[in-house]
């Protein structure tokens, strides 16, 4: 099983003017990330506007990313959905097309207790091969449901192909508790980009980063320095990354990611799918100007 590690880009989903998936811009995103040293690609998550896409659109995005990456980066497909049926269908599809693994966010909106969470992940696990890896995904501030460490451990014991978790709430104590699951044999990825270096120091294996979409070079530099044992440099680079995160508002408005990608020549436009809206030009101009010192020319 291939794990996710390092800088994992939570990719945006580009659209054409008619609202359909912009496959060519999606391919350019794949190339842009790989050229800047991104280790893994993670399409169709929160940053990818997952719940605003149809199942068929999600399959198209997954197929495009897997095929175009062509082994140049690890590709995990996010398959979490509003219904277990859709999540299982997307999981089976991801395995069929040759993805390296999948991630699945908790059920959303409706409250899910421990028994419901366990059943949800058992169903997804059963829809793929026993050796096809799955990451849990907890983002309670958006989904309304959380996966406590003791529940994550129960899920991992019940589902041998559940190998880790992406945790997107800024709680280092919780991250440490996840890291200790299964006697430390549990892959933990941080969602908050500001915790990338701290997470690595604590035993996490990487960050699933939306902010690395428009400005990957800042985050891949941290991981490179980390691998080389240059901790003083890591601290300086994390400070630099935190400045970038503040400029692009930490993903609070994902339209910023697309606008910067457009200005960098990666995607054709900054279109969002309704009810999400694009940022205003004046805001984009201000952000673009502030980012200049941080971009590789």
What is the full DSSP assignment across the chain? -PPP-EEEEE----B-TTSSB-HHHHHHHHHHHHHTT--EEE-SSTTTTGGGS-HHHHHHHHHHHHHHHTTSSEEEEE---SSHHHHHHHHHHHHHTT-SEEEEEPP-SS---HHHHHHHHHHHHHTS-TTS-EEEEE-HHHHS----HHHHHHHHHH-TTEEEEEE-S--HHHHHHHHTGGGG-SEEEE-SGGGHHHHHHHT--EEEESTTTT-HHHHHHHHHHHHTT-HHHHHHHHHHHHHHHHHTGGGSSTHHHHHHHHHTTSSS-----TTS-PPPHHHHHHHHHHHGGGS--
The alpha carbon of 46 is separated from its chain's Cα centroid by a whole number of angstroms, namely: 7
* Distance (Å, whole) CA 192 – CA 215: 15
Catalytic residue among 42, 76, 137, 223: 137
Asked if residue 128 belongs to a known ligand binding site, the reply is no
- Residue 154 known to be catalytic: no
Asked if residue 190 belongs to a known ligand binding site, the reply is no
* Distance (Å, whole) CA 77 – CA 58: 9
Catalytic residue among 166, 167, 178, 258: 166
Contacts of 119 (CB under 8 A, 6+ apart): none
- Residue 166 known to be catalytic: yes
Count CB neighbours of 86 within 10 A.
15
Q: Which residues are annotated as a binding site for pyruvate?
A: 47, 208
- Known catalytic residues are 137, 166
Q: Which residues are annotated as a binding site?
A: 47, 208
């Amino acid at each position: 099983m291939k794990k996710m590690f390092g800088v994992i880009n939570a990719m945006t989903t580009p659209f054409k003017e008619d609202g359909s998936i912009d496959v060519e811009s999606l391919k350019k995103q794949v190339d842009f990330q790989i050229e800047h040293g991104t280790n893994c690609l993670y399409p169709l998550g929160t940053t990818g506007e997952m719940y605003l896409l149809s199942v068929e659109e999600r399959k198209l995005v997954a197929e495009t990313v897997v095929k175009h990456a062509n082994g140049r980066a690890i590709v995990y497909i996010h398959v979490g959905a509003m219904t277990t049926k859709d999540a299982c269908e997307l999981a089976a599809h991801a395995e069929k097309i040759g993805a390296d693994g999948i991630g699945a966010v908790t059920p959303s909106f409706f409250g899910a207790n421990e028994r419901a969470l366990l059943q949800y992940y058992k169903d997804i696990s059963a829809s793929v091969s026993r050796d096809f890896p799955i990451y849990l995904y907890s983002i309670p501030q958006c989904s309304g449901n959380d996966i406590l460490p003791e529940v994550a451990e129960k899920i991992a014991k019940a589902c041998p192909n559940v190998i880790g978790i992406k945790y997107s709430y800024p709680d280092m104590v919780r991250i440490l508790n996840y890291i200790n699951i299964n006697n430390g044999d549990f892959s933990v990825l941080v969602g908050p980009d500001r915790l990338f270096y701290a997470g690595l120091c604590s035993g996490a294996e990487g960050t699933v980063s939306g902010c690395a979409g428009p400005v990957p070079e800042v985050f891949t530099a941290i991981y490179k320095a980390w691998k080389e044992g240059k901790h003083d440099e890591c601290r300086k680079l994390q400070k630099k990354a935190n400045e970038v995160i503040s400029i692009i508002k930490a993903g609070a408005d994902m339209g910023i990611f697309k606008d910067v990608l457009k200005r960098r020549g990666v995607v054709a436009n900054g279109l969002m799918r309704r009810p999400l809206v694009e940022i205003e030009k004046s805001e984009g101009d201000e952000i673009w100007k502030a980012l200049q010192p941080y971009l590789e020319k």
